[in-house]
A and B are shown apart, each in its own frame.
Chain A
Amino acid sequence: MNKGSSITRRLITAVLLLEGLAAVLLIVAVIVNEHQDEYSAFDANLRASANAFLGAVQEAEDSSPNIGLDLRRIPRTPHAIYQVTDGEGHILGTEGPVPQLTIEPDSFRRVKIHGHSYRFFALDGERVVDPGTPSAVVHQVHILYGQPDGRVWHEIWEATRFFMVATAILLGVTAVLLVWMIRRLLAPIHVLASEADKVNSVHWSFTAPEVAMHLVELRPLASAIERTVNRLQSSFEQQKRFTRDAAHELKTDLAIVKSSLQLLTMKERSVEEYGKGLDIALEDFTRLEETVQQMLTLARLEQPADALAPRCALHQVLQDNVTQSASFASLKKVILTASPVTPVFVPVDARDAALLCSNLIVNALQHSPDHGMVEIALRSDGTTATLTIRDHGEGIAEEDRPHLFEPFYRGDPSRSRKSGGTGLGLSICKAICDRAGGSIEIDNHQAGGAIVTVKLPVSNPEA
């Protein structure tokens, strides 16, 4: 199977990509959330420590109104940096490399010191010495307190690491499950394919597998295959039948020719007998030739049409054929009328049109009783030319109707080959009509007799 066009692969890739994307987004969301939690805790801790420093600012030991920092009550935090200054800028206490910062009071700021990330908090407070006495002095105190925040990131990592590993494992497990499941889900396609694969020219039966018909997505495909196979089968059968019938027809004609000639050689005969026998053999041979000719005509008509659109004046061709058939009609004492004959051009080769007309007229004459009548009419409504040929014969039997245009089908079995014709005439007519995009139908007229209706598209005479 081509790698680039595997549905399984594409599905798995698509699902895994989506899963991966979802996992990444989830992890980012978790990290953001964790980050916020950790930082608010860290900040609360900074604020508390700064407040502790504020609490540690006291009156100086001496009796001056100054203040000092009492560090004894402050818990020591490693790596902490602080600076406590009073309103006049005197440093009351400091530790660590305090950066030169101006931070709005009561706000946080991140600073890099010696390659380490620190977070600082600035707190402004007041310290009142001897409150409640007239000598009370208010001292402004600025506190800057910072701690390295690398630990926070460590905490975040610790908290989300498990989550990431779990997601990765889940992703792997679902990938395996996905492969298995998609294979299973796509199994009906394979069943369908293997069933379709069994169809060949000998074994035509195709029944869509149950599993495929259960799936809404596969049902149209399965039934399409079924229909296609059936169509193919019927056209294949038709071809096979044609070949078989053609072989039968040719063999019969050959058998006649051969036996006619062999009959002559079976014993010594007079010159007249030989002459007569040869004449008969020639006649038989002519019929074999006709059969072959008609088969070739049919084969030609069933080929795709030439690019050059043919065109002919159907009314002229029809008139010519009516005139040509007059002698045969008078022989059968049949009255042949053609009215109305509307001038109309059709996209049919002139020779094919003549073949169509003569086949239908001869057919009608053959099916006419003596002193009967054949009525021909050619009408046009501008887009469709309609040619009708009606005889007053026995009409067509209902059971023959679906087979009339089948090659070698002979309507009246008892008449068989004796009435002449190879049984290809109507097939040729149909092929001519089909080729021009028209139609041909045979019906029984209400008043008795058969009526052939040929509909052909009209082609523009100027074109």
Chain B
Amino acid sequence: MRLLIIEDEKRLAENIAQALREAGFAVDHAADGITGAHMAVQDIFDAIILDLMLPGKSGKRVLTELRQTKSRTPVLVLTALEGKETIVDLLNSGADDYLAKPFDLGELLARVKALIRRAKGVSSTIIQVADMEIDTVRQTVKRRGQEIDLSPMEYRILQYLSYRPRAIVSKQELLEHLYDFEWEHHSNVIEAHISNLRRKLNLQGTEPLIETLRHRGYRLSEEASS
């Protein structure tokens, strides 16, 4: 999952970014409203964390403009402003959630995860695909009750695919959503991770879960157990 932080306070953005990266997200940062708005409209983020008081362009304007482009990316607003009106106003402008500063980093993580789950149409923290079970809180994967040890990147790819079962997910999409701009990446990293993932998931007597469609992408199939 890839997140965008639009926050002018550098130290705060650094802390949030680090916490999110440690939680397995790819994170990009914009330090002002104009850059933030530019980045937000590219449909590559799974959630946006938006500060209200931004130089260049206010957080509220960024939000309004984002919603005008019909973007459905969930937005969590960080605010240091008091008052019910601002909150009501924000939610009406298209914010999905808000947190008042100074906030709890753990709460921020939980809310961001919940926003992404909801946006992907999943309400539970445990995703079930065929005979595989993904616990998004503990970040563990089980197949037929047997725990499978995955690297963080492998887990992220699997989780991303599991949010879109049966859909074909292109390599480009995976790259966009799983790596941020700071990451040195090559297009073949995905292939390597998928290959490892397939190998680890392939237990004795089971069908392969991940299909590769040449030049098109990958698909997580649900009928694997049959």
Contacts and interface: CB of A to CB of B under 8 A. Distances in A.
A263 B101 contact: no
A244 interface: yes
B82 A244 contact: yes
Contacts of A418: 10, 31
A266 B56 contact: no
A251 interface: yes
Interface in B1-19: 8-12, 15-16, 18-19
B154 interface: no
Contact of A414 (B15, B22, B32): B32
A266 B105 contact: yes
B80 A263 contact: no
Contact of B106 (A252, A254, A256, A262): A262
A416 B32 contact: yes
A266 B16 CA distance: 12
B104 interface: yes
A248 B101 CA distance: 8
Contact of A251 (B11, B15, B55, B80): B80
B15 A263 contact: yes
B80 A248 contact: yes
B137 to A, nearest CB: 14
Contacts of A413: 32, 55-56
Contacts of B102: 251, 254-255, 257-259
A416 B10 CA distance: 9
Interface in A406-446: 410, 413-418
B149 to A, nearest CB: 18
Interface in A263-278: 263, 266-267
B39 interface: no
Contacts of B31: 414, 416, 418
Contacts of B19: 259, 262-263, 266
A182 to B, nearest CB: 48
A294 interface: no
A231 to B, nearest CB: 26
A279 to B, nearest CB: 13
A263 B11 contact: no
A260 interface: yes
Interface residues of B, number: 25
Nearest to A249: B80
Contacts of A266: 19, 22, 105-106
A247 interface: yes
Most A CB contacts (10 A, CB to CB) among B16, B104, B105, B106 go to: B105
A280 B12 CA distance: 12
A284 interface: yes
B55 A256 contact: no
A356 B81 CA distance: 31
B80 A252 contact: yes
B53 interface: yes
B8 A260 contact: no
B101 A252 contact: yes
Contacts of B56: 413-414
Main SS class of interface, B: loop
Contact of A256 (B15, B53, B100): B15
A255 B100 CA distance: 9
B101 A255 contact: yes
B32 A284 contact: no
Given A255-B103, A416-B32, A267 B11 contact: no
A288 B101 CA distance: 14
B17 to A, nearest CB: 10
Most B CB contacts (10 A, CB to CB) among A252, A410, A418 go to: A252
A247 B80 CA distance: 8
A416 B15 contact: no
Contact of B53 (A248, A255, A280, A284): A248
A254 B80 CA distance: 11
A248 B12 CA distance: 14
Given A252-B12, A416-B55, A263 B18 contact: yes
A416 B12 CA distance: 13
A260 B104 CA distance: 11
A248 B22 contact: no
A259 B16 contact: yes
Interface string B108-149: 000000000000000000000000000000000000000000
Contact of B9 (A256, A258, A262, A415): A256
Given A266-B105, A416-B31, A417-B9, A259 B80 contact: no
Contacts of B15: 256, 259-260, 262-263
B101 A251 contact: yes
Contacts of B101: 251-252, 254-255
A280 B99 CA distance: 24
Nearest to B82: A247
Interface in B180-224: none
B89 to A, nearest CB: 16
Most A CB contacts (10 A, CB to CB) among B55, B56, B104 go to: B55
Interface string A383-417: 00000000000000000000000000010011111
Interface in A361-385: none
Interface of B: 8-12, 15-16, 18-19, 22, 31-32, 53, 55-56, 80-82, 100-106
9 contacts: A248-B81, A255-B12, A256-B12, A262-B15, A263-B15, A263-B105, A413-B55, A416-B9, A416-B32
Given A248-B81, A263-B15, 11 more contacts: A251-B100, A255-B80, A255-B101, A256-B15, A259-B15, A260-B11, A262-B19, A263-B19, A263-B22, A266-B105, A416-B32
